[in-house]
Amino acid sequence: MRLRRVDARLLDATIYLDRVLVVAGRITYRDITPSVVTLHCRKGKWSSGRTHGRWALHVTLGMDADDRECVILHEVAHLMPLSTHHDKGFYRNLFRLARRMGHDMESLIEREKRYKPRVVGSITKRRRED
Ligand SMILES: [Zn+2]
């Protein structure tokens, strides 16, 4: 049998995803581990992800390490309660999760702002006034 080379991104993402799921479980007091997880690698810089309900999570891993973590955090946040749509509840969960993971908040907020500028802007503005 010939052993194929395993892309290190798959190992990194598996370990990171596992930690994020543990932390999300602690925040929500429940096991949010999906039944199906698929990870793919691509040659481009950016990652993308998708969840199906609370049972499946798919992430396509790009070359940028920070962006990979942002996508994993985003998709795991969708598994948390009150987090199906990209509304304030979702972004509160995502930012709470990212802070607990010690992720760079500026890069995450910037990424999410490109995607949903209004709702992310309204949450981050209020947070600064706190
Ligand atoms: Zn999403």
Average pLDDT over residues 28-36: 95
Tens digit of each residue's pLDDT (9 = 90 or more) over 88-99: 999 999 999 999
The span from the CA of 53 to the CA of 61, in Å, is: 21
Pick the CATH number of 8-129 from 3.30.2010, 3.80.10, 3.30.420, 2.60.120: 3.30.2010
* pTM of the model as a whole: 0.91
Rounded CA-CA distance 114/26 in Å is 29
CA of 4 to the centre of ligand 1 (A): 33
Q: Residue 3 C-alpha to ligand 1 middle, in angstroms?
A: 35
| pLDDT for 130 beyond 50 | no
CA of 83 relative to ligand 1 center, distance in Å: 9
Share of the chain above pLDDT 70, in %: 95
Where exactly are the structural domains of the chain?
8-129
Q: Residue 106: its pLDDT value, please?
A: 94
- Tell me: pLDDT of 129 over 80: no
- Ligand 1 center from residue 126 Cα (angstroms): 22
In contact, 42 and 58? CB cutoff 8 Å: no
Instruction: Say how many Å lie between the CA of residue 75 and the centre of ligand 1.
Output: 6
Look at residue 47 in the predicted model and tell me its pLDDT: 97
CA 8 to centroid of ligand 1, rounded, Å: 25
Average pLDDT over residues 117-130: 74
Structure confidence by residue, pLDDT tens digits, 39-86: 999 999 999 999 998 899 999 999 999 999 999 999 999 999 988 789
Listed residue (32, 36, 45) closest to 71, CA to CA: 45
